Amino acid sequence: MSQLRKLRGMVDLLPKQTSIWQQVEAIARAHFIRAGIKEIRTPLLEATELFSRGIGEETDVVGKEMYSFSDRGDRSCTLRPEGTASVVRAVLENGLLSQGIQRLWYGGPMFRYERPQAGRQRQFHQIGVEYIGLNQARSDAEVIAIAWNLLKDLGLSELTLEMNSLGNTEDRRNFRNQLFEWLHLRQSQLDPDSQKRLFKNPLRILDSKNAQTQSLLKNAPKLKDSLSEESQIRFKSVQEHLQELGIPFKLNERLVRGLDYYDHTAFEVTSDQLGAQATVCGGGRYNRLVEQLGGPPTAAIGWAIGIERLILLIEESSRENPSSKATLLTKELPPDIFVVNKGKDAEKKALVISQKLRERGFKVELDCSSAAFGKQFKRANRSGAKWALVIGDDEVKAGKAPLKLLQNSSEKEELLKNGQLHPLDDLESIMNTLLANELQNNKTT
């Protein structure tokens, strides 16, 4: 029988990788808690209409990339390709707008059927923030600052914040019409993909990676020339707030965002650490989406970070600067104690002691192999544990066992020779040694 394999574009996260993910998620969660942002969890599976109405039927996401199917009730269902539409749907369906401003964050898998590449798979993961009910320029700056500070706290460097203003609905409509007319006269000079986009969503042509199209666009109408005075004042205010926060940025006139519901501030945080410039975080204001999904006119802004690409950047930062915080994130979290044990009575006692130490908050790995002491000590060293607690039948009879700092030793005799004996029925003695050593390490680091 042939061995089953995962589908193309799906990735297994093995224990070593998962350790990095858990630390990244824990740091992100801490940032959100400090900023008063609450978590929301939405289903992986939604009605297809949510995305066709929210994202736009003419976008590549809806037209080409969604995993959609009919269920047994003949309802069209879709695995969520992004998080914002689901969050807005949940806010409306559960009446959260009646409770005031919503500061929310989400995390989890998304699905898009596209060509897999490094940092981009068909099942990918995002962490995102959504502010729903806030329209002030200051809220734009705060949302951006939360993303910027989080990325910095993860040990990333060489980040660039790029910004643009898409203006209000009327500004965008005027610019779209001007751009369409200009491009229509030059349609033959566009690459094939841009020619297809011209009649569906000409703004997407600004995102083209084709060198010839980009060269042509240098002389195209500029979005900034279509901004109303009110939109210009608002965007200037966002920039002033960021300057006060000490967050550097640069203006990018071609940053338009790929989804149809954005307006006013659009932004990306990019990095060139992986070679070609890569987007780490993307977001912007979407004051029209809530109304598009059946709610009242409501201002909103948010962003999303792709975790796969973020992990690649953390790993690259670790290689470039081994002393950076990113390096700490790439290391597996070892147990505090590795319990080496052999013998009928010893194995029973080791199980009880391990569980009690875990109840006190220590990370304890119990060797359950019944292998020879030598093999267990080798595992203890490989585990990265700080301490080895050694329990044999003789130690159980004596009521005492050695606890020793693990370094490179792998023989029981060395551990017994240098290890301090502790009463097995007195966990306080073991805990005091562990905690005292931890305090000493903190003083010297």
Residue among 133, 139, 171, 165 at smallest CA distance from 291: 133
Residues 158, 25 share a domain: yes
The answer to whether residue 190 sits within a structural domain is: no
pTM: predicted TM-score of the whole model, two decimal places: 0.86
Task: Indicate the burial class of 105 (C-beta count within 10 angstroms; 0-12, 13-18, 19 or more).
Answer: buried
Given 301, 328, 355, the domain boundary residue is 328
Three-state SS at 170: helix
The answer to whether residue 41 sits within a structural domain is: yes
Given 289, 309, 328, the domain boundary residue is 328
What single string gives the DSSP state of each residue in 375-390? HHHHHHHHHT-SEEEE
Taking the mean position of all CA atoms in its chain, how far away is CA 42?
A: 16
Residues 62, 143 share a domain: yes
Residues 238, 145 share a domain: yes
pLDDT band at 412 (very low <50, low <70, confident <90, very high): very low
- Cβ atoms of 363 and 354 within 8 Å: the answer is no
Q: What is the pLDDT of residues 116-171, one digit of tens each?
A: 887 789 999 999 999 999 999 999 999 999 999 999 999 998 899 999 999 998 88
Q: What angle do CA 294, 296, 302 make, to 5 degrees?
A: 85
| Domain boundaries, position 405 | 337-439
User: Highest mean pLDDT range out of 82-91, 170-179, 266-275?
Assistant: 82-91
Position of tokens 């919503």?
102
- C-alpha 126/C-alpha 110 separation (Å) is 7
pLDDT surpassing 90 at residue 10: yes
- C-alpha 96/C-alpha 104 separation (Å) is 11
Residues 245, 369 share a domain: no
Q: What is the pLDDT of residues 309-356, one digit of tens each?
A: 999 999 988 888 887 888 888 888 889 999 999 999 999 999 999 999
- Domains held by the chain: number: 2
Residues 381, 253 share a domain: no
Given 275, 310, 328, the domain boundary residue is 328
The answer to whether residue 284 sits within a structural domain is: yes
Residues 252, 107 share a domain: yes
3-state secondary structure 131-148: EECCCCHHHHHHHHHHHH
- C-alpha 376/C-alpha 109 separation (Å) is 38
Q: What angle do CA 151, 157, 159 make, to 5 degrees?
A: 75
The answer to whether residue 102 sits within a structural domain is: yes
Q: What is the CATH number of the domain that holds 430?
A: 3.40.50.800
The answer to whether residue 324 sits within a structural domain is: yes
Q: What is the CATH number of the domain that holds 150?
A: 3.30.930.10
Three-state SS at 250: strand
Residues 314, 426 share a domain: no
